[in-house]
């Protein structure tokens, strides 16, 4: 799916391994980020009626891994940021590659690699390699 990301909806998901109290046992949790919370976005280009996302856009808070309150195995954080780590390098918005639904993401800072699981919109496609 090559639907362009925007703040009109959609989500990023990953399986995040966090240490869980009281003994710090690593447990896998679903980590979810809502694209409607993304900042900074491309505010003067609207896709699906909302600002479009590029590679500089990040989602400041994720959900789902809070029971692992001792932090992620790699990042040491809980419910931290989500951001795309790859985009369409031939389609630039404000000088940065545009992002699409299935481009890979980093969830809970750099604790887990994920991807988009639901589209922001279904009208604008980016077919760039």
Residue-wise pLDDT tens digits, 2-56 = 999 999 999 999 999 999 999 999 999 999 999 999 999 999 999 999 999 999 9
Q: Which residue's entry shows tokens 């925007």?
A: 6
DSSP state of 102: T
The secondary structure element, H or E, covering residue 30 is strand 25-34
CB atoms within 10 A of CB 115: 15
Helices first, then strands: H and E counts in the chain: 0, 10
Q: 120, 75 in Cβ contact below 8 A?
A: no
pTM for the full predicted model:
0.89
Say which residues have a Cβ less than 8 Å from residue 29's Cβ, sequence separation at least 6: 15, 16, 17, 18, 64, 65, 67, 68
The structural domain count of the chain equals: 1
Residue 90 has pLDDT above 90, yes or no: yes
Domain hosting 42: range is: 2-126
């Amino acid at each position: 799916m090559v639907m362009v990301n925007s703040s009109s909806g959609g989500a990023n998901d990953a399986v995040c391994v966090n240490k869980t109290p009281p003994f710090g046992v690593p447990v896998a949790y679903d980590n979810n980020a809502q694209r409607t919370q993304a900042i900074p976005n491309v505010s003067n280009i609207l896709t699906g009626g909302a600002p479009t996302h590029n590679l500089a856009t990040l989602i400041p808070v994720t959900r789902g891994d809070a029971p692992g309150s001792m932090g992620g195995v790699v990042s040491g954080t809980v419910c931290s940021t989500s951001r795309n780590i790859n985009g369409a390098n031939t389609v630039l918005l404000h000088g940065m590659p545009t992002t699409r639904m299935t481009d890979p993401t980093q969830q809970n800072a750099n604790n887990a690699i994920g991807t988009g699981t639901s589209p922001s919109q279904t009208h604008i496609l980016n077919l760039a390699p």
